Amino acid sequence: MTAQYKQTNTNGLTARNLNVAVVGGGLVGSLFALHLGKKGHTVDLYEYREDIRTAELVIGRSINLALSARGRKALAEVGLEDALLQHGIPMKGRMLHDLKGNRKIVPYDANTNQCIYSVGRKHLNEVLLDAAEKYPNIHLYFNKKLQSANLDEGEMSFIDPTTKESTHAKADLIVGCDGAYSAVRKEIVKRPGYDYSQTYIEHGYLELCIPPTKDGDFAMPHNYLHIWPRGKFMMIALPNQDRTWTVTLFMPFTNFNSIKCDGDLLKFFRTYFPDAIDLIGRERLVKDFFKTRPQSLVMIKCKPYNVGGKAVIIGDAAHAMVPFYGQGMNAGFEDCTVLTELFNEHGSDVDRILAEFSNTRWEDAHSICDLAMYNYVEMRDLVTKRSYLFRKKLDELLYWMLPNTWVPLYNSVSFSHMRYSKCIANRKWQDKILTRVLYCCSITAVAAAGYFGYKYGNMDLVQHYSSSVLQLLKLK
């Protein structure tokens, strides 16, 4: 792969190359470095950890992610979509496990069979770094932790966590891709008038693992996201390339804290996840559960994302979210797409690019943060409700009949490039339409019952239908 140094925007104007410092060499940082490097900018990528390509896997941090349309588009723009899809495992729906071990399939898209892909975090990061390293204008620096920064001047100070050696750098543009606890964002938060909120939910997570069968095959049907919904908590499992499953238990910390010994754990699993004991293995379950502590889940909302034309934050640094919609990585990758489109449109007018990104992107970021929080309730509880399943079937029918008009919420989020804020507005419009239709049908039913009740002298029939309709409309 060779760098493309020709810099033009959509208006055909030549743009100058920038010296860009990308702080954070994770998924979003390495992808955005590729986007900028492909456009000919000089990129210095700083990561405070060691090179993930030579590091051991971090225990307790999810090793697989759900790749959907938004992330695929950003990867396609740097020529990596096909390579990642070949590695990923397609998941075409949810497979729900009840207390008796029975399983039920709920497809993501019954009409077109669209799917999301389970991809390994480490593998994806390695592919992105390998691709970036092939560009002579992209330089990778590891063990570089940002200590301080003068964002107005583009000056940064780094320290090596192992040797304690300090280094200084300067850039035309600083891009913070350094996660939920971003050092770049900490510098921005110091500025007056900055909106920032950090919310920890009362639920944490802990990772377990389902090994392959003795024959070396998947222990469960592997083209699904498996869910054990239990009302106030849940467990999920995503397939890996080595035929293992990454299992994540989400529940309140009070529940975690109540499990103090092997007996407590096995009793808990026999009560709520009996079929998972044999899948995981009793000894492995006990070992993995007590090996690490449950981790916290945080949601971060802030704005603006930029400091003039000198600095910007993207990915989790700008909008960390709980993982229940599988959009954290995809939203971060979409940040790269949005910024690249603005670079294409405005050349090297960085002030305009960053201001436009910040002014428009925050609303979508806040929307997907809220959707992710809502989806936890859906996954752990609502998926078992008749009302949820009825609404899903109705959405599928209307989507089949009116594919350009009626797009279900999940489809719009995972399988389209509709703005996240528009996805929510679209859902509210659909709810309003269905409420009106239900109301009209109910009034018609009451009128019909009244007519036949009056005609045949059966007023009990009128009262029965009227009462049912009122309950349905939540007016009683």
- Domain end, chosen from 371, 393, 422, is at 371
Share the mean pLDDT of the chain.
89
Same domain as 134, residue 66: yes
Q: What is the pLDDT of residues 327-367, one digit of tens each?
A: 999 999 999 999 999 999 999 899 999 999 999 999 999 99
In this structure, the answer to whether residues 70 and 183 fall within a common structural domain is yes
pLDDT band at 1 (very low <50, low <70, confident <90, very high): very low
Domain assignment of residue 272, yes or no: yes
pLDDT digits (tens, 9 = 90+) for 278-337: 999 999 999 999 999 999 999 999 999 999 999 999 999 999 999 999 999 999 999 999
Per the structure, the count of domains in the chain is: 2
In a domain, 6, yes or no: no
pLDDT of 246 over the 60 cut: yes
Q: Does 456 lie in the same domain as 346?
A: no
Residue 255 scores a pLDDT above 60: yes
404 is a domain residue = no
- Indicate whether 88 and 232 sit together in one domain: yes
Edge-to-edge strand list for the sheet holding 295-303: 103-107, 93-97, 225-229, 234-239, 245-252, 195-210, 295-303
Q: What is the pLDDT of residue 2?
A: 37
Q: What are phi and psi of 297, to 5 degrees?
A: -125, 130
Using the predicted structure, report yes or no on whether residue 256 has a pLDDT greater than 80: yes
Of 104, 88, 294, the residue nearest 208 (C-alpha): 294
Q: Is 277 left (phi over 0), alpha (psi -120 to 50) or beta?
A: alpha
Q: What per-residue confidence (pLDDT) applies to 247?
A: 97
pLDDT tens-digit readout, 398-450? 888 988 889 999 999 999 999 999 999 999 998 888 887 766 765 665 556 55
On whether both 354 and 451 belong to a single domain, the answer is no
Average pLDDT over residues 217-224: 97
Interatomic CA distance for residues 168 and 183, integer angstroms: 15
Q: Answer yes or no: do 362 and 470 share one domain.
A: no
Is the pLDDT confidence value at 198 over 50?
Answer: yes
Boundary-marking domain end, from 322, 346, 371: 371
When pLDDT is cut at 50, 70 and 90, the band that residue 196 belongs to is very high
Let me know whether 331 and 226 are in one domain.
yes
Residues 72-103 as b/e (b if ≥16 CB within 10 A, e otherwise) read bbbbebbebbeebbebbbbbbbbbbbeeeeee
Structure confidence at residue 455 as a pLDDT band (50, 70, 90): low
pLDDT tens readout for residues 379-405 = 777 777 787 788 888 888 888 898 888
pLDDT at 156 exceeding the cut of 60: yes
Residue 3 placed within a domain = no
User: Which residues neighbour 172 within 8 Å (Cβ) at sequence distance 6 or greater?
Assistant: 18, 19, 20, 154, 310, 350
Residues 128 and 218 in one domain: yes
* pLDDT value for 389: 80
Whether 90 is in a domain gets the answer: yes
Other C-beta atoms closer than 10 Å to the C-beta of 38 total: 23
Looking at the chain, the whole-number percentage of residues with pLDDT higher than 70 is 87
> Residue 390 domain-assigned?
no
What range does the domain containing 186 cover?
19-371
- pLDDT at 376 (0 to 100): 84
pTM of the full structure? 0.89
User: Averaged over 17-34, what is the pLDDT?
Assistant: 97
The answer to whether residues 149 and 275 belong to one domain is yes
Among the candidates 371, 398, 430, a domain finishes at: 371
Say yes or no: 446 and 365 in one domain.
no
Any idea what the CATH number is for the domain that residue 314 is in? 3.50.50.60
Residues 177 and 319 in one domain: yes
| Residue 376 domain-assigned (yes or no) | no
218 and 314 fall within a common domain? yes
Write down the pLDDT at residue 475: 42
**In this model, does residue 276 exceed pLDDT 70?**
yes
**Confidence band, pLDDT 50/70/90 cuts, at residue 467:** low
pLDDT tens digits, residue range 37-86? 999 999 999 999 999 999 876 555 555 799 999 999 999 999 999 999 99
Whether 399 is covered by a domain: the verdict is no
